[in-house]
Structure 1
Amino acid sequence: MEVDCGTDGVGVVDITYGVTSKQVMVARNATSRSVGAIEKFSNNYGATDDGVDATLTVSTRPTTGTCQTSLTDYNSGDILAEKETAGKAEFTVLVPSD
């Protein structure tokens, strides 16, 4: 999955995978970067080893400009879902166990 808010956008990304969660700010401007924002968020999520299916939820909330959020199948390279918006984007997918 990947979130990019372009050269002048700022967004908050919430990721929940199974029982873990993470929040990051995505922005390229110097002010946002000085308080911990990252230029682009990219991470891979896959099947767990415990045999239990996991739910992945990605929510992007731009505060300035627009953000593009995309979920890609790592094995095939196919884009599963993609949205560019100045409003909230949310995707929820089931990641089956191996």
Structure 2
Amino acid sequence: MGLVTLDHFAGCVGNAFDIDMGESSLPLTLSEARPLPETGFPGMRRSPFSLMFRSGSQIVLPQKLYRLKNATLGNLEIFLVPVARDKEGIVYQAIFN
């Protein structure tokens, strides 16, 4: 896919993404895709943005690079960090600089 941008994900808010767990997968929902403040520097290739994913599972996955699959975007490798937990599950964030 090359360099991903916020535009790639903006139309996928509310869509399912599956984390490849080897023998199984864990479903996530992209709950938010938003721009981040741009500090800017010469040669910057994309504007920074943040993605928030929600899992219905109470199991917290460690922060690391995960292979995700989405019907629209296909296969992606994204570094996810658990950032919140509530009664509905775990929220993970990915930041792209």
Q: Give the TM bin, normalised by the shorter chain.
A: 0.3 to 0.5
Higher relative contact order (CA 8 A, sep 6+): 1
TM norm structure 2: 0.33
TM norm structure 1: 0.33
